[in-house]
Amino acid sequence: EKVKNVEAICLNVELCIKPEVREEFLDVIRNNKAGSDKEPLCLQYSWGENVNTPNTFHFHEEYIGEEGLAAHNAAPHFAVWEE
C-alpha cells in the first residue's frame, strides 16, 4: 500500500558496534523494529548490516513530521537505547 504524499522526517544512521555486544545489540534492534512498526506516525524503519564491514549497521527511518520523530523517541522500545 502506498503512503499518501506527506512531509516526512528521514534519518539515515550508521552504527559501528563492538563484536562483544553484537548479540545484545541485535536483540535490542529487533525489539526496536517491532515497536517502531506499530507506531502510527512511523512510515519506515529498516536496518541491515554492511556486507563489507562486519558489525557496522545502517538504518533508514521515516516519520510523519516532527511529531512522529518525537513519538518514536518517547516510545518504551526506544528507551532501551538509553540503557
Do residues 9 and 33 make contact, with C-beta atoms less than 8 angstroms apart?
A: no
pLDDT value of residue 60: 96
- Which tens digits make up the pLDDT trace of 43-82? 999 999 999 999 999 999 999 999 999 999 888 888 876 6
- Put residue 54 in one of left, alpha, beta given phi > 0 → left and psi -120 to 50 → alpha: beta
What CA–CA distance (Å, rounded) separates 3 from 64? 11
Residue type at position 19:
P
pLDDT value of residue 82: 65
Quote the mean pLDDT of the chain: 91
pLDDT value of residue 77: 83
Confidence of residue 31 (pLDDT cuts 50, 70, 90): very high
